[in-house]
Structure formats: structure tokens, C-alpha cells
Amino acid sequence: MAFFDAALLVGIAESLMFVIPIFIIAHTIKTIWHNHKAKQMLFLPNAQLKKYWLHGTLMMLICLIIYFAFGKN
């Protein structure tokens, strides 16, 4: 049962390692496009951009920790 739980956590971590960067890139492109269409600022404000990338980076680190903690045999 414990092996199944570890395998499940590793599977979730591996999935998130692919999904999170794609989501961050897509959200950034969408935001730039909408701002450009509205003739507002071309880029996100620095504080918002830093917060968004920091959140993504922390999520990636959590996924890597889960992967290396439970994924090694």
C-alpha cells in the first residue's frame, strides 16, 4: 500500500512538472496578448510577474522533491 502511495505521488509530481511550465507560458502569452489588444502595457507589472514566476518555481521545486524522495529505488 505504501508503494502505491509513493508511486501515486511520483506520478502526480511528473505530471505537474510538465503542466506547470506550459500553464505559466500560456498564461503569460495570453496576458501579453490581451494587454496588447487593449492597448495597455505590453508586459505584466514587475511585481505581478515576479509573484507569478515565483509561484511556478516553488511548485516545480515541490514536484522535484517529491520525485527524488519517492521515485528512487
What are the residue boundaries of the structural domains of the chain, listed by start? 11-70
**How many C-alpha atoms does 17 have within 13 Å on its Cβ side?**
14
pLDDT, residue 45, reads 63
pLDDT tens column, 24-64: 777 777 776 766 666 555 455 666 667 777 777 777 777 77
Q: What is the pLDDT of residue 39?
A: 56
Nearest to 40 by CA among 49, 28, 31: 31
Q: What is the pTM of this model?
A: 0.42
pLDDT bracket for residue 3 (50, 70, 90):
low
Count the Cβ atoms, other than its own, within 10 Å of residue 73.
2
